[in-house]
């Protein structure tokens, strides 16, 4: 690995000795990039806590602190916002971090997307493949997912959309379920995060209560942080039945 030292201003160097004369390195602060070019693709390999590398760096576990996550997230957000101006219309902006913590992922990307409507997210393959695909083998889960989509497409009411969104969030995305007397995870948002899995079922900071539909659809959530309010469903058939009842109550002809 080459060590590049910046002495004040940005300084460029060429990788010609590695046989890549077209690559140039600029050393400096990514929060204030001096470039004005429009690139087809920009990769933000963000400085982070490294909590996704515990397998080869176990000592990080004992050094990590809550304030570190906030500090990293602030810096990551500043970098992402600054370099987004370098992406040409129709180009690709990739955000990467060696962490699976929501504060350094959804907590950075979601506010960025809210502030930059010119960017649209690509599919999250880890979230979809690890979180959604395996449960689709269950008929009730598949019907639940399908019915939510049909109901949202059929309604013209913002209140109905919000209610269905919250139902989906606290079941499909961040749902807990009873199984043989134990509380287990089935929500895709939990299953695709190594931080959320133990936090959701073990942390004393999480408020867990029975899944009551009227309570669920009136409960708000913050997607940019670890989820500290979750609902426990007795079964997938129960959730499917509750959703069907809710859709009928809304008068939507999709059941």
CA distance 204 to 244: 33
- Crossing angle between the packed helical segments 158-168 and 236-249, to the nearest 10 degrees: 180
Q: Backbone phi, then psi, for 130, in 5-degree steps?
A: -90, -30
Q: Greatest CA separation found in the chain?
A: 70
Answer whether 72's CB lies under 8 Å from 16's CB.
no
CA distance 52 to 107: 16
Place of tokens 């600029």: 26
CA distance 49 to 72: 7
| Strand bridging mode 207-210 / 229-233 | parallel
Q: So which residues are the catalytic ones?
A: 127, 132, 173, 192
| Strand bridging mode 87-96 / 176-179 | unpaired
Task: Give the residue from 231, 222, 229 showing the smallest Cα distance to 106.
Answer: 222
Task: Give the residue from 178, 175, 152 showing the smallest Cα distance to 165.
Answer: 152
CA distance 10 to 33: 9
93 membership: H or E segment, kind and range? strand 87-96
């Amino acid at each position: 690995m080459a060590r590049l030292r910046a002495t004040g201003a940005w300084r460029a160097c060429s990788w010609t000795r590695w046989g890549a004369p077209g690559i140039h390195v600029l050393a400096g602060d990514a929060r204030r990039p001096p470039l004005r070019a429009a690139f087809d693709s920009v990769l933000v390999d963000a400085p982070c806590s490294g909590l996704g590398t515990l397998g080869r760096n176990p000592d990080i576990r004992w050094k990590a602190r809550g304030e570190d996550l906030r500090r990293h997230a602030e810096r990551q957000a500043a970098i992402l916002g600054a370099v987004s101006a370098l992406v040409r219309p129709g180009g690709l902006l990739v955000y990467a971090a060696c962490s699976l913590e929501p504060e350094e992922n959804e907590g950075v990307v979601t506010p960025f997307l809210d502030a930059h409507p010119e960017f649209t997210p690509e599919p999250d393959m880890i979230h979809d493949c690890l979180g959604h695909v395996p449960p689709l083998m269950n008929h009730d889960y598949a019907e639940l997912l399908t019915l939510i989509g049909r109901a949202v497409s059929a309604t013209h009411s913002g209140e109905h959309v919000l209610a269905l969104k919250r139902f989906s969030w606290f079941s499909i995305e961040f749902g807990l379920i009873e199984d043989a007397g134990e509380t287990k995870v089935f929500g895709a948002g939990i299953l695709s995060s190594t931080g959320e899995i133990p936090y959701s079922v073990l942390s004393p900071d999480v408020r867990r209560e029975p899944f009551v539909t009227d309570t669920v659809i009136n409960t708000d959530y913050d997607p940019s942080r670890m989820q500290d309010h979750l609902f426990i469903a007795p079964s997938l058939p129960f959730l499917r039945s509750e959703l069907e009842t809710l859709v009928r109550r809304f008068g939507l002809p999709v059941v």
